Chains A and B, each alone.
Chain A
Amino acid sequence: MKNILKMQSVRKLIFLALTFAIIQLLIITNIIDAYFQNTLANICINIILAVSLNLITGFTGQFSLGHAGFMSIGAYTCAIITLRMPTILGFFLGVLAGAVLAALVGFIVGLPTLRLRGDYLAIATLGMAEIIRIIFINLKITNGAAGLQNIPRFVNWTWLFIFTVGTVLLINNFLKSSHGRACIAIREDEIAADAMGINTTKYKVTAFVIGAFCAGIAGALYASYFYFLKPNIFDFLKSVNVLVIVVLGGLGSISGSIFAAILLEIISTFLQSFSELRMVIYALLLVIIMIFRPQGLMGSKEVSFSVFSKLGGNFKSGKSKLEQRFKSKKGRV
């Protein structure tokens, strides 16, 4: 058993290293030019955002519409720190401070509002994100509605890759721990989970804080990569965008979120020149998916390396069987 797990992690490592090397090679040889590098950065940032929102909405079943708010906190914190301290150390400090601050706000907001159910929580988080945006518009240090310019750029493909993989691993491992199981139990039936002795408030807040933390990281990367910030980037539409990725990929599927982030970003890169039409297509996509495939492209299934070994005639580990039993039910809110 242990050997198989090890085999899998070796395969994962090889796969990750290959992905990194191939894209790095494409960048060096300039096949992925500056324009597509932006797409690449957007994909990585969206993956972090989507996976962290999936933890909150897809796995814990708490419907949040305020992810852009957490992202903006991370972005502004990192931008302000790197503007004053334009070194690589400053950048790390910025990412860390941004993520911690976003997590802190997530904690403060989450503690009272996570008592609310479903729609009410969605509206409360939406209100929270709007308040954060309005505060950023009015603060001096963020330069108001005009925003911050010339933020030093430290993020390149290497950092994007490391942070994206790190976030996905963090959330994936969290979900495989007993805490993650508790979160999934809350999604399936909050009252039953409560009756089983799970401290529902604690786990909901934990998931929310981890989600906010990762959104802060995504925001910091965004600020450092695109070296320009203004509060209106982080409006309701941004939160909806992240939600669209999560729903399209499938609530409760990490790999689904990753695929959907890649797919949607590629679509929107090609539709860049018709911005209004792009949103119309987005909207139609959303409605059509909800009507015909409400569980998203992947449902709550995962593409993992055990799938490949199953195809090769190998057997499934006991752990993944259990996991499938957990994930077989549809995500409900």
Chain B
Amino acid sequence: MEQLIQQVINGISLGSIYALIALGYTMVYGIIKLINFAHCDVYMIGAYVGYFCMTTFHIGFIPSVLIAMVVCTLLGIAIEKIAYKPLRNATRIAVLITAIGVSLFLEYGTMFFVKATSRSYPEMTGIMTKSFNFGNIVISMKQIIILVITVVLMILLQVIVKKTKIGKAMRAVSMDRDAAELMGINVDTTISFTFALGSALAGAAGVLVGVYYNSINPLMGVLPGLKAFVAAVFGGIGLIPGAMIGGYFIGVVEVFVSGYGGSLYRDAVVFGILILILIVKPTGLLGKNTREKV
């Protein structure tokens, strides 16, 4: 029983990170129907920005997270403007291949500058090293901080999407781009804003993962990126609550599989879930079926 609770706690920490990344995927997919393969590399860049902030410039943890978010926001906007905007009216496959191209460019470009070896995050000091014991259950301060930051960011995101004017525009564009444009919404700005939001969350996730797992490398984004995408599909792609639920679900499942002896197969299980959900209910847990129109 105690082991079970411990696994759930570990799963929630991992799930928080997946959820943060999945939100970026789901928002971008919702608005321009693109699987933004480059998103997982924005997360990787976030981790590196956090790393350099903490080691080279000796900045504290929270400011590092904020700086990483700002840098990733700018990167996300730049990617959208340079690579995706010229393809607004191109075929879906063309945009998807561009996304793969941007992703490879970021990965190997980073590798070119910082080399392929993994780097370890600096040891945390002070309050970050604490942990709480309840019987045999251990909750580390890092896990609490990850959860708190994730929840705060998610609430912030919900406020932006539900309460602000630009959030309203985002929802309108994702429902019907042409109609939104006719209503006087600046679609380009809205799409850029969506990329900015998603990238900021990915940047935060990058720093959190660096602090939690202590090791980063230029290809660290690939697998978590795919899994976060699985999470987004699981919850129903295009839906923000779906990405959150999916992220936590995938995180808990992964920790459970490795906790109970199947660590070699944990990635296979996640992809198995993906194929299963695509076959059984391609619209995801919260998705609604839409009729196919000619």
Which A residues are within 8 Å of any B CB, using their own CB?
57, 63, 112-113, 115-116, 118-120, 122-124, 126-128, 130-131, 134-135, 137-138, 191, 236-237, 240, 243-244, 247, 251, 276-277, 279-280, 282-287, 290-291, 294, 330-333
Contacts and interface: CB of A to CB of B under 8 A. Distances in A.
A332 B294 CA distance: 15
A130 B267 CA distance: 8
Contacts of B90: 290, 294
Q: What is the interface residue range for chain B against chain A?
A: 35 or more
Given A283-B105, A286-B100, A287-B98, A333 B83 contact: no
Contacts of B112: 276-277, 280
B108 A243 contact: no
A104 to B, nearest CB: 17
Contact of B222 (A138, A236, A294): A236
Given A118-B92, A291-B98, A130 B271 contact: yes
A290 B95 CA distance: 7
Contacts of A285: 101
Contact of B292 (A116, A131, A191): A191
A177 B264 CA distance: 45
B92, B104, B109: most-surrounded residue (chain A CB, <10 A): B104
A127 B104 contact: no
A240 B93 contact: no
B226 A126 contact: yes
Given A123-B274, A130-B267, A131-B271, A276 B108 contact: yes
B138 interface: no
A286 B98 CA distance: 7
Nearest to A236: B222
Q: DSSP majority for the B interface?
A: helix
Contact of B35 (A122, A134, A240, A294): A122
B35 A123 contact: yes
Nearest to A240: B100
Given A124-B278, A127-B230, A283 B265 contact: no
Interface string B226-243: 100110010000000000
Contact of A135 (B83, B91, B268, B278): B268
B94 A294 contact: yes
Contacts of B148: none
Given A243-B97, A287-B105, A119 B92 contact: yes
Top 7 A-B residue pairs of the complex, sorted by shortest distance between their CB atoms: A286-B101, A283-B105, A279-B108, A127-B271, A283-B104, A287-B101, A294-B94
B104 A130 contact: no
Contact of B265 (A112, A134, A251, A286): A134
A247 B268 CA distance: 29
Contacts of B275: 112-113, 124, 127-128, 131
Contact of B93 (A63, A237, A286): A63
